[in-house]
Amino acid sequence: MKRDMITLAGVEIELHETGEGAPILLLHSAQGFVPSQPYVGMLAKARRLIAPSHPGFGHSALPDWLDTVDDISYLYLELMDRLRLDKVDLVGSSLGGWIAAEMAVKAPARVRKMVLVSPVGVKTGPSDQFDIPDIYAMPQAKVNGLLFHDPAKFQFDPTKLSDDELTVIARNRETLALLAWEPWMHDPKLTRRLHRVDVPTLFLRGASDGLVTAEYVARFARLLPNARIETIPEAGHAAQVEQPAAFAQKVLGFLDA
Percent of all residues in the chain with a pLDDT value above 90, rounded to a whole number: 95
User: How far apart are the C-alpha atoms of 20 and 32, rounded to whole Å?
Assistant: 23
Amino acid in the structure at residue 158: P
Q: Is 58 left (phi over 0), alpha (psi -120 to 50) or beta?
A: left
Domains and CATH numbers, the chain: 2-256 (3.40.50.1820)
pTM for this model (two decimals): 0.97
Beta bridge partners of 231: 205
Cis peptide before 183 (omega within 30 of 0): yes
SS (H, E, C) 79-105: HHHHCCCCCEEEEEECHHHHHHHHHHH
* Residue among 56, 25, 29 at smallest CA distance from 241: 29
Q: Which stretch of DSSP H or E encloses residue 219?
A: helix 214-221
Beta bridge partners of 92: 27, 116
pLDDT per position as a tens digit, 132-190:
999 999 998 899 999 999 999 888 788 888 999 999 999 999 999 999 999 999 999 99
pLDDT per position as a tens digit, 106-123:
999 999 999 999 999 999
Count of C-beta atoms within a 10 Å radius of residue 225: 12
Cβ(18)–Cβ(43) below 8 Å: no
User: How far apart are the C-alpha atoms of 235 and 232, rounded to whole Å?
Assistant: 6
Kindly report the backbone phi and psi dihedral angles of residue 177, in degrees, each rounded to the nearest multiple of 5, phi listed first. -60, -40
